Amino acid sequence: MGVSEPKALPLESSSDSTLGVYVSVPFCRAKCSFCNFASGVSSPAAIAAYVSTLCAEIDAASATAERLNAKLPHIVDTLYFGGGTPSLLEPTQLRSIFAALRRNFQITSDAEITLEAAPGQIADAVLAEAQLQGVNRISLGVQSFVDRECAAVGRSHTERDCIREILRLQAAGVADVGADLIAGLPYQTTASWQHSLDVTTSIGLAHLSVYMLEVDEDSRLGREVIAGDQRFHAHGVPADESSAEFYETACAWLPQHGFPQYEISNFAPTARRSRHNRKYWMRAPYIGFGLDAHSMLLRANGAVRFANPEELAQYAVQEFHPAPVDIAAREAFEETIFLGLRMNEGVSLSQLRRQFPCEFVAAMEVAAIELISDGLIIAEDGRLQLTLHGRLISNDVFTNLLMGIAA
Ligand code: SF4
């Protein structure tokens, strides 16, 4: 199947002087059967306690960075509330988190500030508080515009609810309303997938993320599919080939309907692309607060990654002393390849040669020749990019590409 790939953008040098901030709010009204995130249902008291710990962690950010010998930029130009369902926070809790962030960082006036929400789970007062605090992007976990598919995975919203929610947020003046879809939900068919794509592209959304259902041991549905059992509608999960076809359809169809693909899972016109996620792909500095939040900060020489605990009980008692993982030249090279190739613009060979030892680049180029002949990557205008087929098996491509690099 052909795909019209967007023209490569110049790979600007990622800004090291500004920071991206991720805030994890790991609470949901119910646990979806496919979900493998560190999220769950908690009591109001547990959520209140979590918000206190979160604010204390934000207040400790400078000390944490100092202990890790890392540079912490204090100017924040992207802020992302993910989870979980951050829109379930009380307005006062949202206010407290923003107050903690503003005590410790300077959020720029044009910062991209995103809040994840589930359709029907963002109260008027929360929306008003979020907008007051500067939230200008809401990412709705729609997953499907087909009622049966949502019900099968334990999501309570219908197509009507989702459309109503999108129109409500747009009418309230949220600048960018985006949605997520999942290819491979139980009972999904070619026709039902096309229906979700049709609705998505006809209601003025700014941004679209398309994920393929992950079948792994970390979700109830995944375990059931692996075991070959029937609970959680596991028998309705389409075959891998069908899910791959749905994804390929999205990659071919969305760009023709106003949503150019710019990353393996993301589609949007240039002005609406996620600036926050770009920091991850470009290896620009970011810090994460809350459960299972990950961070990457730069050092005078190199970078350091660290992460918070995945278990709420552990996070509640932690003293903000995360274990650092040093990023040496080889790891930095690998990250540059596998994160950069996620983007349609790919990675620049001349930039790699400038930044990394020539033996790394030479070994990678040898592996690339074979992957090019297999139709998994292309080399164009001095850049390596994944093909559509390469995107479907991207992890294998990255492994092969990096295999020849000496440890
Ligand atoms: S998919 Fe989203 S809403 Fe569902 S349980 Fe996971 S984090 Fe919560």
> Pick the residue with more confidence: 105 or 318?
105
68 lines ligand 1 (CB under 6 A): no
299-324 per-position pLDDT tens digit: 998 999 999 999 999 998 877 788 89
Count of CA atoms in the C-beta half-sphere (13 A) of 115: 28
The best mutation among 85, 116, 121 to test binding of ligand 1, ranked by most ligand atoms within 8 Å of the C-beta, falls on: 85
120 lines ligand 1 (CB under 6 A): no
169-198 residues labelled b (16+ CB within 10 A) or e (exposed): bbeeebebbbbbbbbbbbbbeeebbebbbe
- Distances in Å between the Cα of 184 and the Cα atoms of 193, 204, 237, 245 are 9, 24, 6, 10
> Whole-angstrom Cα distance, residue 276 to residue 266?
13
Could you tell me the two tokens for 274? 């996620």
The alpha carbon of 21 and the centre of ligand 1 are apart by a number of angstroms equal to 21
Task: Tokens 């079948």: give the residue.
Answer: 215
Average pLDDT score over the chain: 93
Q: Look at ligand 1, atom 1, and give the residue with the nearest C-alpha.
A: 35
Ordered strands of the 377-380 beta sheet:
347-348, 383-386, 377-380
Helix, coil or strand: residue 222:
helix
User: Using 50, 70 and 90 to split pLDDT, how confident is the model at 52?
Assistant: very high
118-140 per-position pLDDT tens digit: 999 999 999 999 999 999 999 99
The alpha carbon of 112 and the centre of ligand 1 are apart by a number of angstroms equal to 23
Q: Compute how many other C-beta atoms are within 10 angstroms of the C-beta atom of residue 121.
A: 19
The alpha carbon of 221 and the centre of ligand 1 are apart by a number of angstroms equal to 13
Task: Tell me what percent of the residues of the chain surpass a pLDDT of 70.
Answer: 96
Q: Which residue ranges form the domains of the chain, and what is each CATH number?
A: 18-279 (3.80.30.20), 328-407 (1.10.10.920)
Q: Look at ligand 1, atom 6, and give the residue with the nearest C-alpha.
A: 35
